A and B are shown apart, each in its own frame.
Chain A
Amino acid sequence: MKNSTNHSIKLDAMNEPDWKIIRDDFPILRLTVDGKPLVYLDNAASSQMPQQVIDRLVRYQTSEHANVNRAVHYLSEVATLEFHRARCKLQQFVNAAEDREIIFTSGTTDAINLVMHGYGRKFIKEGDEIILTTLEHHSNIVPWQMLANEKGAKIRVVPINDKGELEIDEYEKLFNERTKFVGLIHVSNALGTINPIKRMIDYAHQYSVPVLIDGAQAAPHLIIDVQALDCDFYVFSAHKLCGPTGVGMLYGKATLLEAMQPFKGGGDMIMSVTFEKTIYNTIPHKFEAGTPPIAAAIGFGAAIDYLTAIGIERIAAYEAELLDYATELLNDMPGVRIIGTAANKTAVISFAIDGIHPHDIGTILNQDGIAVRTGHHCAQPVMQRFNVPATSRASFAFYNKKSEIDALVAGIKTVQKVFL
């Protein structure tokens, strides 16, 4: 099998039978749970992997594996080349100007921590202010809190309205001469809200403030163009894009990455080491200490190939249809309330059922093979804003089908019956 991602995909934009072909690429979707077909609606937590990516991982492990950037032997050269190719695929995927602007990390969280240590600890000082939003995932809150505590800096928070949209006027009012950094979630994992990041980046740049975009929930559903956005950092994880766990990426503008201090020390990130002095390697290597997740990075590249072969726009259009369908059905259900009703959303529906705790909802839905996420979604400030401890969240991917949404609706009715 040479290029397994290019099974001829012919999709008429929204014709469901065509999407069934796609669904067949995902062996895990054939599972049954307690005798019921698996209905996987927890894609915002982690997506599933198509056979093409699985095959790529197997091919790497069976015929290409060695350590990278080190030896001169055959396998090391192959592995180094394939690892580099994966970087270039990511570069293209986000339209970065140069491949050295792509850093492999262990995931979104790791990438944000890298920026906190590499940029934040070097450039942010006492009295400085960092702007975050209410919608942030904990991974884009806690590192900045740690930094703020260490430096005596201050965190300012952009509020949201009742629909779960950022209040842009308030965001703009937060800026002053002490503002030194903005951390901004592109798409809310808890609510699905798509934020107007271009406009927000432009505003921050009027104050010469760099902006980090947490794209964990955006990259699987939207076209990302870091040059058009002019963001300073953009981060996401492979496992939400049909790729493996354990790898993610940081895009950073080369000038910024060069000015930053390294995050982790070790092999590969050095040019030369004596006990007196170490000279750091150039980017991206400066930020990739130790043996990187080579297999996972190559799988990441294969996942990007797979998604781009289908086409992100087409994925987005189909998922929008699933979202509309599900929103309409859930809105019609008595006792069911959708939390997060932004005008611009990805296919994520957080909901509450009157008088029933999300954990009980999740357990009873699971009985029908339906996988939803229940909890605070690592976004407790969002939960606090809506005055709920937790929600249930159905999040759709392009391999979901309308009949699965019907199953969700039937499952919710069962839940309501149990608690009648």
Chain B
Amino acid sequence: MHTNSLYQEVILDHNRKPRNYGKLEHASHHATGHNPLCGDRLDISLQVDERDQINAIAFQGESCAICKASASMMTSAVKGKSRLDAETLINEFRDLATGKLDINSPNHLGRLTVFSGIRDLPTRVKCAVLPWHTLHAALNSLENASTEADHDPVPVVSNNT
């Protein structure tokens, strides 16, 4: 693939104008993700209601365009979804980024497939996946996510805010 097809307008647009950027006042869940390779960090806060639905989500942090666009599109995609649906998306996105997902098979990713080109840039897979690791950590009350947990798709630590 050519890098041009990675830096597509959708991604550049989400980078320029990230959606759901910031921090939630009354978050029920929270996690911070780190990419030790570049020192990037990403905070995700969520409001999950008693019916396990994600009512609100926000992210903020210092990151590259790939990571920021991924986070922006992710927050748009999971807002209003159930926790279970969000977990499904997390798994599908990880498989997409690592090249394990056959894009032609049924999936729920929709526009998120613009990230399919990332699988050819192994050094950047972590950037795209970091928000998703962090979301997973937040939903599962894990305090910190790290892209170093790549081999083991489940990140380590835990917390609830």
Docked Cα-Cα span, A366 to B7, in Å, equals 13
Docked Cα-Cα span, A389 to B68, in Å, equals 15
| A357 and B39 form a contact (CB under 8 A) | no
Which chain A positions have C-beta within 8 A of B7?
360, 364, 418
Which chain A positions have C-beta within 8 A of B64?
357-360
| B127 and A359 form a contact (CB under 8 A) | yes
| B39 and A360 form a contact (CB under 8 A) | no
Which residues of chain B from 121 to 151 have a CB within 8 Å of any chain A CB?
Answer: 121, 123-124, 127
Known contacts A366-B3, A418-B12; is A359 also within 8 Å of B39 by CB? no
Docked Cα-Cα span, A390 to B62, in Å, equals 10
Instruction: Say if the beta carbon of A367 comes within 8 Å of chain B.
Output: yes
**Interface residues on chain A, size class:** 10 to 19
Which chain B positions have C-beta within 8 A of A363?
3, 6, 66, 121, 123-124
Identify which of A356, A359, A418 contacts B38 (C-beta below 8 A): A359
Instruction: Say if the beta carbon of A419 comes within 8 Å of chain B.
Output: yes
Instruction: Say if the beta carbon of A376 comes within 8 Å of chain B.
Output: yes
Interface centre among A356, A359, A383, A390 (most CB of B within 10 A): A359
Known contacts A367-B4, A418-B12; is A390 also within 8 Å of B66 by CB? no
Which residues of chain A from 392 to 420 have a CB within 8 Å of any chain B CB?
Answer: 418-419
Docked Cα-Cα span, A390 to B63, in Å, equals 10
Which chain B positions have C-beta within 8 A of A359?
38, 40, 64, 66, 124, 127
Which residues of chain B from 1 to 51 have a CB within 8 Å of any chain A CB?
Answer: 2-4, 6-7, 12, 15, 37-40
Docked Cα-Cα span, A364 to B3, in Å, equals 7
Our count of residue pairs bridging A and B at CB distance below 8 angstroms stands at 51
Docked Cα-Cα span, A380 to B64, in Å, equals 17
| B12 and A389 form a contact (CB under 8 A) | no
Known contacts A359-B66, A359-B127, A360-B65; is A389 also within 8 Å of B3 by CB? no
Instruction: Say if the beta carbon of A375 comes within 8 Å of chain B.
Output: yes
The tally of residues in B whose CB lies under 8 Å from a CB in A reads 20
Contact with B along A350-365 (1 / 0, CB 8 A): 0000001111100110
Identify which of B6, B40, B65, B124 contacts A419 (C-beta below 8 A): B65
Which residues of chain B from 40 to 87 have a CB within 8 Å of any chain A CB?
Answer: 40, 62-66
Known contacts A418-B12, A419-B12, A419-B65; is A375 also within 8 Å of B38 by CB? yes
Docked Cα-Cα span, A418 to B2, in Å, equals 14
Docked Cα-Cα span, A28 to B15, in Å, equals 36
Instruction: Say if the beta carbon of A374 comes within 8 Å of chain B.
Output: yes
Task: Return the chain B residue nearest A368 by Cβ.
Answer: B3
Which chain B positions have C-beta within 8 A of A34?
2
| B38 and A376 form a contact (CB under 8 A) | yes
Known contacts A376-B39, A380-B39; is A357 also within 8 Å of B65 by CB? yes
| B40 and A360 form a contact (CB under 8 A) | no
Docked Cα-Cα span, A359 to B62, in Å, equals 12
Least CB distance from A190 to B in Å reads 12
Which chain A positions have C-beta within 8 A of B66?
359-360, 363
Identify which of A366, A367, A389 contacts B39 (C-beta below 8 A): A389
Least CB distance from B33 to A in Å reads 14
Docked Cα-Cα span, A34 to B3, in Å, equals 10
Least CB distance from A39 to B in Å reads 15
Docked Cα-Cα span, A367 to B39, in Å, equals 23
| A357 and B3 form a contact (CB under 8 A) | no
Least CB distance from A390 to B in Å reads 5
A-B contact pairs, 24 of them (CB 8 A): A357-B38, A357-B40, A357-B63, A357-B64, A358-B38, A358-B64, A359-B40, A359-B64, A360-B65, A360-B66, A363-B6, A363-B66, A363-B121, A364-B7, A367-B2, A367-B3, A367-B4, A375-B37, A383-B39, A389-B39, A390-B38, A390-B39, A418-B12, A419-B12
Identify the 9 closest CB pairs spanning chains A and B, nearest first: A357-B64, A359-B64, A367-B3, A389-B39, A360-B65, A390-B38, A376-B39, A375-B38, A360-B64
Residues of B within 8 A of A (CB): 2-4, 6-7, 12, 15, 37-40, 62-66, 121, 123-124, 127
What 5 new A-B contacts, CB under 8 Å, besides A359-B127, A389-B38? A356-B65, A357-B64, A359-B124, A360-B65, A389-B39
